[in-house]
Amino acid sequence: MGILYEKVQLTQELKRQMMIRQLLDMGITEHQGQSVYDLDYYTLRHVLAMQKLKD
């Protein structure tokens, strides 16, 4: 069970890094006064989805 948990965490971290890159490419460096680098996976996913809806 521990190995599966580690794989999920690693996968989420890789996705998180990709979402940060996409947001930076869109010119977004922060959300509600917090750097995109400090946002968690789910917040990043929400911010990216909302930004894509705007475009």
d(Cα 53, Cα 50) in Å, to the nearest integer? Answer: 5
pLDDT of residue 12: 92
Q: Taking the mean position of all CA atoms in its chain, how far away is CA 36? A: 8
Q: Tokens 């460096």 appear where?
A: 29
- Give tens-digit pLDDT for 3-23: 999 999 999 999 999 999 999
pLDDT at 1 over 70: no
The pTM assigned to this predicted structure is: 0.85
- Give tens-digit pLDDT for 30-42: 999 999 999 999 9
